[in-house]
Amino acid sequence: MALTLEQVRHVATLARLSLTPEEEQRFTTQLSAVLDAVEQLQSLDVEAVEPTSHATLTSSRLREDVTRPSLPPEKSLANAPAKSDTSFAVPKIIE
Amino acid sequence: MQLTDLTMLELAAKLAAGEVSSEEATRASLTRIQQVDPKVRAFLRVDEAGALAAARASDVRRKSGSPASTLDGVPLGLKDIFLTEGVETTAGSRILEGFVPPYDATVVRLLKEAGLPLVGKLNMDEFAMGSSNESSAFFPSHNPWDVSRTPGGSSGGSAAAVAAREVFGALGTDTGGSIRQPAALTNTVGLKPTYGRVSRFGVIAFASSLDQPGPMTRTVADAAALLQVIARPDAQDATSADAPVPDYSADLEAGVRGLKLGVPREYFTEGMDPEVEAAVREALREYERLGATLVDVSLPHTKYALATYYLIAPAEASSNLARYDGVRFGLRAKDARSLRDVYALTREQGFGAEVKRRIMLGTFALSSGYYDAHYLRAQKVRTLIREDFTRAFQQVDALVSPTSPVPAFKLGEKVEDPLSMYLMDIYTLPCNLAGLPGLSVPCGFTKAGLPVGLQILGRPFDEAGLLRIARAYEREHDFFRRSAPL
Amino acid sequence: MPVSDFQPVIGLEVHAQLLTQSKIFCGCSTAFGAEPNRNTCPVCLGMPGVLPVLNQRVAEFAVRTGLALECTIRPTSVWSRKNYFYPDLPKGYQITQFDQPICEHGRLVIDTPQGEKAIRILRIHMEEDAGKSVHDAGGGQSLVDLNRAGVPLLEIVSQPDLRDADEAVEYLKAMRDVLVYLGVNDGNLEEGSFRCDANVSVMPKGSTTFGQRCELKNLNSFRFLKQAIEYEIARQVDVIESGGKVVQETRLWDVNKGVTRSMRSKEEAHDYRYFPEPDLPPLHVSAEAIDAAAKALPELPRAKLQRFTSQYGLPAYDARILTAERPLADYFEACAGHYKDYKKLSNWFLGELMRLLKEEGTPLSALRFTPAQLGELLGAVDQGMVSANAGKDVLGEMFRTGKAPADIIAEKGLAQVSDTGAIEAVVDDILAKNAGEIEKYRAGKKQVFGFFVGQVMRAMKGKGNPALVNELLKKKLGD
């Protein structure tokens, strides 16, 4: 299927990618080509087929409800681009 | 013969005999890196101090007669997708430049506990998305057999480093062929274990239901030994398997007499390089001579695997990569004034073209109105592909095929053509969709001297069987003794 | 059309924080009130490479709740990712359940003026909470604290079966009672560990087609829930009456202004792109586990209330208060083993005991006296060993010191005089001193009787057994 420029922009917004106009054009072409290629799946009858979302269906591994030491905040925040005391900081969110 | 020409097990024997120290081996590795890496460019960073400290600690253990494992002291390299506490980990992306993890991946912890010095972090396609190492945000790695060519991807740095004998072995990850394809292109052994066999905890995710770490080595026996260290159920990975871990070396020399090897029709297609096909056909005849029976089998949904993969993997990736948002770690765009900018500019500046392309594709495949026709349908076809394998394994013990349709291609050759790049994985990615183990073992060279790989696929958790079959072939040849012309 | 011509339709979504020690997918503490980001680790920070592993108690609590609300428990339920960007959502997705939740098709019975009404439960699912963003931090910044990220929640979604604000309040109270009884939630609306959103719409009476609904948020008390729903019903009727159309949106209850206001969504239309969480295998709950959980289910508030009225013959009013909290009900039943006049026992509970608990701020678990001792005290009152008034003092002392009632009565000299001879002597003395009053009494001024009782009690410093004093006075006065 061919994607429109509008669709590419919408998807970029959902994905939080601020694409350049040149990228928008390029992705419109390239993603359309990929979507054309995957179009072949439509020819298969999968009505009665169960989807596979996990490669192996092992019994689920669970944890006991016990606390384990957390990271000290200085480690939690060591890689933060911006922080204030022990909080992560971002430009003010306008409600 | 140089120290770095030894295989992991050869070195381990010398370490055990006290003929050589881990510090000497590690220094040899570091020297080799200095000599050849300017040409190969396998390493993103070398942790000389950390590796030497670990080597000296290993030597102390060896001297006191209490080695931590048979591989104690054998220097190893890690694809830069494994988190290493205190050592920068980037997954080949600008968005993680400068990120210093506060914890070790489970497999890194296991390697440290087994005493293996970790000499550094190896180059890769950004977030493991690519088949040539060219999507690395930093630089492409080069194939030691011809430095104008790619070592493959995404674990290209790992394969190149092992092939160039900069390290004795390495870990890679395989989502659609990222261990096996570069192994095939560099005359090395690459093993993608069964999904769940090796913990993914601390391994930067590309596509969670497909990713699997595994060993990349020069020999089959080394792969078995390294898998022995990392194959373990992990309480921190809910998808890790409880299946018992056998002794992978026990039946290594048992041969293939009496085994049935399936040859999937759909894996010998047009577009395959004639020299690759010739080498693989010769390997098949070799197996017959060794007593195996070849069985013609069909995996009818193979032709849908590429499309299935390129919906599922990007969809999962689009979600996995949402955490790179400029808030808690990694890059934040300098010019971000609003929260929107923090997200959109950071991600625009921090991700490369291939990563953006896949995030876009995956976001689209999951989006309202397209989910059923794309993502859900792909998951159903994934079931059909799994069932193909299940049926095949009722007839045969393993499947053999080429690993890659072509030998190493020129750097730059396919960068602008995503679809032709995606075709590099057609023989490797069905295995990931089915969660099966797969292995690539060297099976000769083209006239131009480029390596060819033979792929062996097996039943779930039959890594031992794959290793045994690969070893039977390897024993008849000396490909792994050949050194790349550096 | 006036408001009374419209039928409101309401459904509630309850978010209940589960009373686990650790978070849903990692070992960090769920404790409230720590320094920002003190209770975080790579997993709940959404660092690269991390994976979730389910806290098994979360599943246990979900099953327990589902059974209590008469739901069907899915043998296999599936985790999904809900994708959206927000600074307090570390991974860029929330791990939740979507199309295959753990519990479905339940019900909760509530009381309405028209009698009992079953409110259907659509679904219950498990999910992780997000962190907290503080927007008024100054410096043009918002601050993000991820202590709460990964705290386990149950989301319980009702069918749109509620028809007015009172029913909604009744439902929410009944839901809270059940969750607290089950020990899965602390029922604290103010701190937000028990939260509720309301979906409200209106339609002309008699219609079968629901109107466009609005989702109300920030309803952190029963009063706000009632006020917000009533406001919203009136607002929607107004919109329709004035020829407008109700727009589907999320509206915030403004506590100060007493209105709901639209949360103008600054972002583009949501598309959460749900898909199965590949990092978590589907959750399997065996039939045996469901059976075991069903057997271990405690008696629920409604059943207990009904039993208190039938078994103990208590009025509904008493039973409701006594069963409002499980520890109080349990304690009442323990005492009932030692004292058989249940209504009198209930009176003491609703009166003195609850007053003391409240005044002293003591939890029931910290009571210093045993049910047997309370029974003993009430028996002593019945037998006239101590007056009812003095009995209250004895209870107060038991409450503070834990001493046995008999010891307190003895120590404080509170024992009632029930010795007929001793009382008779005092009665005779008083009558001898008040010949004039006797005349008035015999002349028909019966209220003088009270005067004699008062005089006798005063002479006996209040310890005369009132029944005996009355009896003797009447005899002596010739009645």
Cα separation, B106 vs B199, whole angstroms: 6
Q: In this predicted model, which residue has the larger pLDDT, C15 or B419?
A: C15
- Answer whether C212's CB lies under 8 Å from C248's CB: yes
Asked if C273 reaches chain B (Cβ–Cβ under 8 Å), the answer is yes
Q: What is the pLDDT of residues A61-95, one digit of tens each?
A: 899 999 999 999 999 999 999 999 999 999 998 75
Q: Is the pLDDT of residue B203 over 70?
A: yes
Cα separation, B87 vs B96, whole angstroms: 12
pLDDT at B298: 97
Token pair belonging to C313:
């013959």
CA distance A4 to chain C (A): 18
Q: Are A73 and C40 inside 8 Å of each other by CB?
A: yes
Q: Are C27 and A63 inside 8 Å of each other by CB?
A: yes
Chain A partners of C26 at a C-beta cutoff of 8 Å?
A: 68
Cα separation, C271 vs C250, whole angstroms: 15
Cα C72 from chain centre: 25
Asked if C48 reaches chain B (Cβ–Cβ under 8 Å), the answer is yes
Q: In this predicted model, which residue has the larger pLDDT, C426 or C79?
A: C79
Nearest to A15 among B209, B363, B381 (CB): B363
User: Is residue C460 very low, low, confident or very high in pLDDT (cuts 50, 70, 90)?
Assistant: confident
Q: Is the pLDDT of residue C190 over 90?
A: no
Average predicted confidence (pLDDT) for chain B: 96
Cα separation, B416 vs A58, whole angstroms: 40
Cα separation, B363 vs B357, whole angstroms: 10
User: Is residue C267 very low, low, confident or very high in pLDDT (cuts 50, 70, 90)?
Assistant: very low
Q: Are A41 and B460 inside 8 Å of each other by CB?
A: no
pLDDT at C146: 98
With a CB cutoff of 8 Å and minimum separation 6, the contacts of C123 are C101, C103, C104, C156, C157
- Answer whether C83's CB lies under 8 Å from C272's CB: yes
Under DSSP, the state recorded for B173 is E
Q: Count Cβ neighbours within 10 Å for each residue of B460-479 and write b for 16 or more, e otherwise.
A: bbbbbbbbbbbbbbbeeeeb
Cα A21 from chain centre: 22
With a CB cutoff of 8 Å and minimum separation 6, the contacts of B418 are A30, A33, A34, B354, B357
**Average confidence (pLDDT) over C398-422:** 79
Token pair belonging to A17:
């990618």
**Average confidence (pLDDT) over B79-96:** 98
Chains in touch with B (≥3 Cβ pairs < 8 A): A, C
User: Is residue A57 very low, low, confident or very high in pLDDT (cuts 50, 70, 90)?
Assistant: low
* Domains present along chain A, CATH in parentheses: 3-40 (1.10.20.60)
Q: What is the pLDDT of residues B52-70, one digit of tens each?
A: 999 999 999 999 999 999 9
- Answer whether C102's CB lies under 8 Å from C78's CB: no
User: Is residue C269 very low, low, confident or very high in pLDDT (cuts 50, 70, 90)?
Assistant: low
Please tell me which residue in B132, B135, B154, B158 is annotated as part of the active site. B154
Q: Is the pLDDT of residue B220 over 70?
A: yes
Q: In this predicted model, which residue has the larger pLDDT, B423 or B287?
A: B287
Cα separation, B166 vs B122, whole angstroms: 11
- Answer whether B143's CB lies under 8 Å from B185's CB: yes
Q: What is the pLDDT of residues B101-154, one digit of tens each?
A: 999 999 999 999 999 999 999 999 999 999 999 999 999 999 999 999 999 999
Q: Is the pLDDT of residue A58 over 70?
A: no
pTM for this entry: 0.91
**Average confidence (pLDDT) over B450-466:** 98
Q: Are C39 and A70 inside 8 Å of each other by CB?
A: yes
CB interface of C with B, residues 67-126, below 8 Å: 81, 83, 85, 87, 90-93
- Answer whether B85's CB lies under 8 Å from B128's CB: no
Cα dihedral across residues A52, A53, A55, A61: positive or negative: negative
The one-letter amino acid at C198: A
Q: Is the pLDDT of residue A59 over 70?
A: no
SS (H, E, C) B226-260: HHHHHECCCCCCCCCCCCCCCCCCCCCCCCCCCCE
pLDDT at C470: 83
**Average confidence (pLDDT) over B324-348:** 95
pLDDT at C136: 77
CB interface of B with A, residues 363-382, below 8 Å: 363-364, 367, 373-374, 376-382
Nearest to A41 among B233, B344, B381 (CB): B381
Report DSSP letters for A40-59, one per residue: GGGGS--TTPPP--SS--PP
SS3 C373: helix
**Average confidence (pLDDT) over C184-192:** 91
Q: What is the pLDDT of residues C116-150, one digit of tens each?
A: 999 999 999 999 999 999 987 778 899 999 999 99
Nearest to B338 among A38, A54, A91 (CB): A91
Cα dihedral across residues B131, B137, B143, B146: positive or negative: positive
Average predicted confidence (pLDDT) for chain C: 90
Cα separation, C125 vs C82, whole angstroms: 13
Q: Are A93 and B361 inside 8 Å of each other by CB?
A: no
Range with the lowest mean pLDDT among B288-297, B422-431, B476-485, C438-447?
Answer: C438-447
Please tell me which residue in B29, B79, B155, B440 is annotated as part of the active site. B79
Chain C partners of A82 at a C-beta cutoff of 8 Å?
A: 141
The one-letter amino acid at A33: A
> Any bridge partners for residue A6, and if so which?
none
Question: Which residues does A contribute to its contact with C (CB < 8 Å)?
Answer: 10, 13-14, 16, 53-54, 57-71, 73, 76-77, 82, 84-95
pLDDT at C265: 59
- Answer whether C241's CB lies under 8 Å from C222's CB: no
User: Is residue C266 very low, low, confident or very high in pLDDT (cuts 50, 70, 90)?
Assistant: very low
pLDDT at A40: 92
Q: Is the pLDDT of residue C268 over 70?
A: no
B218: nearest Cα among B10, B462, B456: B10
- Answer whether C8's CB lies under 8 Å from C214's CB: no
Q: Are A82 and B210 inside 8 Å of each other by CB?
A: no
Range with the lowest mean pLDDT among B76-90, B195-209, C316-330?
Answer: C316-330
Q: Are A54 and C144 inside 8 Å of each other by CB?
A: no
